[in-house]
């Protein structure tokens, strides 16, 4: 547990499902005030359940609809956090999408959609949080959700890999720029995690087997294992950590093909 997170206000984008949801619940367990951002009206019921769970575990929560690609929606998220809880201390830029297409067939529309959600959306989240932190003299913390694909090339997902590669240098650049203000900006690179985005893939035994071969630790990660890294990065336990990509991937980035020692 991280006592310094008690009473802190955190915004988590894309928090209705998957890793974002696990982060929301975990910050709730740390008695934080959680702003759950969600995208679609269809997710309202899910966010209500998350709010209930957070309140039950001692935290506080509110759900705010918004599209991370829209400046006005991101501004509204910050406004809602401040109006509801009085401040903003932590921004978790988590919302992301992916789709599989051979690169020579990828439409400009699909490219733009993934880049604007995954990369531009995170930039807007960073920019607005930074602006608020600076104006209010808050030594806040930002955590961007990246992926092992900020390192590992991923055929058929060039837009996704490009967005995650962009997050890496965006995080490092912002970390360098705002270090003198003691604002910390880090990212997390999850590997294969049990989330709705991957549900179809992992429900096919053959596809799942293929993914497991890429994970030296031999299992698909749980969203809670990623949330555990997010609370640490956001807490004062990580007070001297900035510009880091924390890899949580069961060893996926360790060249699993070399596991038997050949080469």
CB of 245 to ligand BGC, least distance (A): 13
Task: Count interface residues toward ligand BGC (CB under 6 A).
Answer: 8
Among 69, 147, 187, 194, contact with ligand BGC (rule: CB under 6 A): 147
Query: If binding is defined by CB under 6 A, does position 114 make contact with ligand BGC?
Result: no
**Which of 125, 191, 221, 223 forms a contact with ligand BGC (CB under 6 A)?**
191
Site for ligand BGC contains 148 (CB under 6 A) = yes
Q: Does 84 bind ligand BGC (CB under 6 A)?
A: no
| Nearest to ligand BGC of 41, 209 (CB atom) | 209
DSSP output for 90-103: EEEE---------G
Cα(65)–Cα(207) distance, integer angstroms: 34
Cα–Cα distance, 212 to 194 (Å, whole number)? 12
Nearest approach in angstroms of CB 87 to ligand BGC is 32
Report, in Å, the least distance between residue 174 CB and ligand BGC.
21
- Are the CB atoms for 150 and 209 separated by under 8 Å? no
DSSP secondary structure letter of residue 255: -
- Return d(Cα 190, Cα 225) in angstroms, integer: 9
Query: Are 55 and 61 a contacting pair, CB within 8 Å?
Result: yes
Q: Which is nearer to ligand BGC, 50 or 148 (CB)?
A: 148
DSSP 8-state symbol, 204: S
Residues found near ligand BGC in the complex (CB under 6 A): 98, 147-149, 191-192, 197-198
């Amino acid at each position: 547990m991280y006592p310094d997170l008690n009473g802190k206000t955190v915004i988590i984008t894309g928090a209705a499902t998957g890793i974002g949801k696990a982060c929301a619940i975990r910050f709730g367990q740390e008695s934080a005030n959680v702003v759950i951002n969600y995208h679609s009206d269809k997710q309202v019921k899910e966010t209500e359940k998350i709010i209930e769970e957070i309140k039950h575990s001692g935290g506080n929560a509110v759900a705010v609809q918004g599209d991370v690609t829209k400046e006005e929606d991101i501004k509204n998220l910050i406004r809602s956090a401040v109006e509801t809880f009085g401040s903003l201390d932590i921004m978790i830029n988590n919302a992301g999408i992916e789709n599989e297409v051979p690169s020579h067939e990828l439409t400009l529309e699909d490219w733009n959609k993934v880049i604007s959600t995954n990369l531009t959306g995170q930039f807007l989240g960073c920019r607005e949080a930074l602006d608020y932190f600076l104006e209010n003299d808050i030594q806040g913390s930002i955590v961007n959700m990246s992926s092992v694909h900020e390192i590992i090339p991923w055929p058929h997902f060039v837009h996704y890999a490009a967005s995650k590669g962009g997050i890496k240098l965006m995080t490092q650049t912002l970390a360098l720029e705002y270090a003198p203000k003691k604002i910390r900006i880090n990212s997390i690179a999850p590997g294969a995690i049990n989330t709705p985005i991957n549900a179809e893939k992992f429900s096919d035994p053959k596809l799942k087997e293929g993914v497991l071969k890429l994970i030296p630790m031999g299992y698909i990660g749980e969203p809670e294992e990623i949330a555990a890294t997010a609370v640490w990065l956001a807490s004062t336990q990580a007070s001297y950590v900035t510009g880091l990509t924390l890899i949580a991937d069961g060893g996926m980035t360790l060249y699993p093909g070399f596991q038997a020692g050949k080469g």
